[in-house]
Every structure is written in C-alpha cells, then in structure tokens.
Amino acid sequence: MTLPTRNLSAARRRRSSSVQTSRLASGAAFAAALVWASFFGTTPVRTAAAGATTCESLSALRLPNTTITSAQVVAPGAFVPPAPARGAAPEAEGRGAPGAEGGAAGGRGRAGGPAAVYASLPSFCRVAATLAPSSDSDIKIEVWLPAAAWNGKFQAVGNGGWAGVISYAALAQAVAAGYAGASTDTGHVGGSAAFAPGHPEKVIDMGYRAVHEMTVQSKAIVDAFYGTAPTLSFWNGCSQGGRQGITEAQRYPADFDGIVAGAPAVNWMRLNGVRVAANLVAHATPESYIPPAKYSMIHNAVLEACDALDGVKDGVLEQPSRCKFDPKVLECQGPDGPTCLTKPQVETAQALYAPVKHPKTGAVLSPPLLERGSELGWGTLAGPAPVSTALDAFKYVVFKDAGWDWRRFNAATDIELAEKMDNGVLNSAVVNLKPFFDRGGKLLMYHGWSDQQVAPGNSVDYFTKVTRAVGNSAVGKSIQLYMVPGMGHCQGGPGTDTFAKMDAIEQWVAAGKAPESIVAAHMTAGKVDRTRPLCPYGKVAKWKGSGSTDEAANFACAAP
C-alpha cells in the first residue's frame, strides 16, 4: 500500500462520516478461565496464605506516593464490578469500530460471561489505592489478594485501547487461578486520549509509569498481607496490554519474571499513523470504498483459493503468507454487483494486503495491516472512518486539538510527526531486551493471523528485530512468538483462540525452555469442537495424515 501524498478529494470531503460503535464484549476475557480446568486439566499448585496482617488493616499501610483508599474482604461470589464512570470505555475494550483495540488477557467469551466468573470467585481481600508519582498523577489501582489458597505468585493484567478503567475481568481470572492480582486505569478515566492535552505527566503515566508504579506498590501490599513477597511475578495482557508488557521488559527489566504479550501494539504511534492512512486509501474516492456486504464474498474467494494449501480444508489459513490470492480475479466484468468488486474496490483490497509505504520515498513503514483471511473484520480499519484509537492519538497527543479533522491527515509528514511528538513515551519500539533476558526474564508473544486492527506482521517484525539485537540464542530460551491461525484481535475468528497462556509461561519459567507447542481450542456455544497446536514462529501445525483434523494430537509442529 503506497500512501497518497495529498488529502481526500473535495467530493470525499463532502461525504459524511461516522465512527462505528464498539462491540461490547466484556465477557471475552473469561472464556479461558472457564474451560481450562475441564479441558486442559491444569490445577495451580497453591499454598495456604499465612497473613501477616488483616485485610482491613492494610488501609493504614504507608507506601511511597500511595494512598490506600479502601481495603475490605469480599465474600465468595459477592463481587459486583462498579458501574463505569461517565465516558469510560467498556471493560477491556477500546473505542471505535467493532473489535476496537482491547482484551486485557485474551480468550473468548462463549463459555459464560463475567457474572458467571465473578459468582465463582473465592473470598479475597480487595485493596484500592491512588498513586501520585508526579504532581499531576492520579493513578487508580486495585490489588486482589486471595483469602486462602494463594499460589504464592503475583499476576498483573493489562488494559485495552486507551485504558482508563480497571480490568476487573482479567483480575477475576487471575484470582480464580490462585494469583494475587493487580490492575490500573493508567491514570485517567475513560477510554480515550482526551486527558492528554496539557497533561504531559499523565501521558507518561499512560505510556509506562502507571504500570511500573502499580507493580512496585502491589508487591509491597502482597508482602504486607501475606508476610512474604511473591515468589514469581507475571504480566498478562493483549493489545494495549501487550504493549504495556513489552514496555515493562524495555524499561523495568526487574519487575516481572515472565511476560505474556498478545497482539502487542508496539511501534504504537507509527501504527496509529498507518491505520489512519490506510482508511484514507480505502476512501481515496467514493468508488474506492468496499461495503461490508462484500466482505464475506471476498473471504470465501480467499478460502477457495488458499484453504487447502496447508493440507487441511477447515476454513483457516495456517500460513497466510503462502496465499497469493489477488482480488483482481473478483473484478466485475459488467455493472457493480454483490458478487464482484469494481476496479477501484479491487485496488483498495490490493492495498490492504500490501506493506504500507511512504508516499514519497517508498520506504516500508509497516507490514501489511491485514492478512489474507482477515476479510470479515475489514470494517475496523477500512470502515466509514479510521478506528478511534488511532484518531485519538492524533487529536490529543500529536495535534492537541479535539476538533482536528482526520481528512486533513498527510501521510508524507504526519506519521513521522507522530513519532517525533511522542518522544518514545507511547511508541515502545526499543528492541534491546538484553537486561530483561539477562535476569532470566521470559517473553511469550502471541498474535492472531487474522487480526483486524494490529498488523500481525508488527509482532513478527518486532520479534525478528529483538532476536537480531540480542542474538538468536535467545529464541526459545528468553523469547518466543506463537502466531495463531484464524484468530482475530486477541480473540475470536475461526481459529483456535483459547489456550492456557499462564500455564505456558509458568512451565517456561520452571523449565527454562519455551513450549515446543501450546494446545489451543476453538469453541462453539461454550463447547470445544476443535484443538490444534500453536507452534513457535518459523514452524506450522501439519496434519500427520490420519485421524481427525479437529484433534491436536494428529498434528505436529514442523517447518513450512
């Protein structure tokens, strides 16, 4: 995709636009917790909590830059999440088009919603605190401490989109598994970047400081309550949460022993720029726009051309890069219709599949934003308007103007400007993770090949650059990437998107070697109907030639 050098045509400017409403999927982060015990048979080894103090007495605990606002015992199954503050985004979701950047811990919400998981929670000590590491900081955190059967470990969970809310869903998942857990709103309320103008310290909190301060103070609270520090500390997040986890490895290598980073939005300011630019390409002229009614037609054509390339025809592309489907084969031979694409629509589809290039220099700015197989989710990046997560970056961080019109976006200058204005606070592009690895830290990355808003190739590119910077010997020892065929952004899609991420990182930390494969499941109506191995990047799951293609045991990870 070569970006245009000028803005939209006058005709395009006159067209009205609207931002698609975000799909509320707050239960999505719970599916793994609900099926792991029955399907994967994983039961945490737990130790009894020998509290050094009572829950209520934590209110008097004195910590640097910290005010504990409440500490109370929650009875089994009694937790009810507070109503979102005015303007806050739905829990663990971003804003904007369907599937907007979210998912604190990933998973699929088809095995019961949040209420079911909250109802099954054991008793825990719920601590709320406000952190103020700067004069303009107002960071809210919550730390949940199992009243009994603590496993001796700490798990911090990430946010989605522009954060602005405690990730109660992921916290519940962590406590249900025996961890002491923590989450933060990153210092502001509401799932947008409207907080940023005039508040550089709050932007720093959002970028990296809030998560670090939460981690430090949470561990102190854990120590005070149990009379001992956590034996191991883990991070678990997807999308923004993936960026947060990798940022921790970059800036604070001593905070965590293991980090699970799904669909990490690293290179975030550049990513926001190319996402706005891609939408402008999709609307280069009124005729360029591909209506959602045609997405299924394009997707079916892709599957017809490429589904069987991996040896199994199952509605999933195991390795999208092998698919060379050209949308030109769908070009209308006559008038426009539901079963074909006009020539401008063909050009749009081709651009969406292509690497994003600078309009003047031709330099590659980003891998393809959308891979073949992702067509059903094109409404997120190629819908009526750019995804609002990206728009907010330019409105409030780059131009500091709530009235900024995205139609004025200039790809030749504004992407570079975004990175320059950010000054590394939000971008999280550092690839030298040697200090984290030298401590024995493990980084488990995962990303869906059908991700509809964070380019799958963004993770491949980051993984490749990290291993180049620290040496290939780190692969499997300190860092590993697992691409998930058919999975969308953090969850969803026809792929096997439910897997025991925390079990995988726990086993890795214990054994010193990344899993050779991770069994993942696809579910329909809350029931597992397919399992597959997820393979380390560079290998793919290949059918052995016999047995059900819906059973992971009949596949092996091998070179493509």
Residues annotated as part of the active site:
239, 451, 489
What DSSP letter does each residue of 85-151 carry, written as one string?
PTTPPPTT--SSSTT-S--SS---TTS--HHHHHHT---EEEEEEEE-SSTT--EEEEEEEESS---
CB atoms within 10 A of CB 12: 17
- CA angle 504/507/510 to nearest 5° reads 150
SS3 446: strand
What DSSP letter does each residue of 8-29 carry, written as one string?
--HHHHHS---PPPPPP-TTGG
Calpha distance 382→232 (Å, rounded): 42
What DSSP letter does each residue of 30-78 carry, written as one string?
GHHHHHIIIII-----------SS-TGGGGG--BTTEEEEEEEEE-TT-
Q: Which residue reads 């706005």 in tokens?
A: 276
The values of phi and psi at residue 556, to 5°, are -135, 145
Calpha distance 509→388 (Å, rounded): 37
Q: Which residue reads 């095995």 in tokens?
A: 111
Contacts of 10 (CB under 8 A, 6+ apart): none
Between strands 258-262 and 232-238, the pairing is parallel
CB atoms within 10 A of CB 357: 17
Calpha distance 6→66 (Å, rounded): 49
What DSSP letter does each residue of 377-398 carry, written as one string?
GTHHHHSSS--HHHHHIIIIII
For the chain, the farthest-separated pair of C-alpha atoms sits apart, in whole angstroms, at 78
Calpha distance 155→178 (Å, rounded): 10
The alpha carbons of the chain give a radius of gyration, in whole angstroms, of 23
Query: What six digits make up the tokens of 70?
Result: 């409440």
Calpha distance 475→458 (Å, rounded): 18
Contacts of 161 (CB under 8 A, 6+ apart): 89, 93, 94, 95, 100, 101, 102, 191, 239, 240, 389
Separation of CA 247 from chain center: 13
